[in-house]
Structure 1
């Protein structure tokens, strides 16, 4: 079960399992758009306010993003604040 407006685990799994070579350009564009929206929603809402399933799925997604992109962690909102000079000043 996913939270409102979010992709559920089965949709994400199906998209990952289907090779890009068998997807139409329209399908690829739709997935890229909905993935971006899902990542924004993932970062905007604290895990404590999510359902258990959505929280676990988001944690796995963040872990995969860090592995693939070498990220240091932090939410999209925090990264945006830091880029604009409005983040925490440690």
Structure 2
């Protein structure tokens, strides 16, 4: 089960195990948009307000993103604030 407006973990699992070669272009494009929306929602919603399952899958997703892209681990909101010069001034 997922939080409102979020992609369910079982959908993510099915998408991940289905080879791209068997997916239509429409399916691939749809997954790209829903993945982007889910990552955005993951970044702006605090973990404290998520269900246990959603919190866990988000932490795993952030860990994978950091490993793959070398991210600093900040939330999308923090990154947007920093880009606008409104972030933490430490």
Q: TM-score range by the shorter chain?
A: over 0.9
- Size of the aligned set, in residue pairs, is 90
| 1:86 to 2:86 alignment | yes
Specify the alignment match of 1:3 in structure 2: 3
- The normalised TM-score by structure 2 is 0.97
CA distance in 2, matches of 1:18, 1:84: 39
CA drift at 1:72: 1.1
Specify the alignment match of 1:32 in structure 2: 32
- Equivalent residues in 2 for 1:34-53 (5 A)? 34-53=34-53
Q: Cα deviation per residue 1:10-38 (whole Å; 9 max; x = unaligned)?
A: 10000011111111110011000000100
- The normalised TM-score by structure 1 is 0.97
Unaligned runs of 5+ in 1: none
Q: CA RMSD in A?
A: 0.6
CA drift at 1:86: 1.0
CA distance in 1, matches of 2:16, 2:69: 17
Unaligned runs of 5+ in 2: none
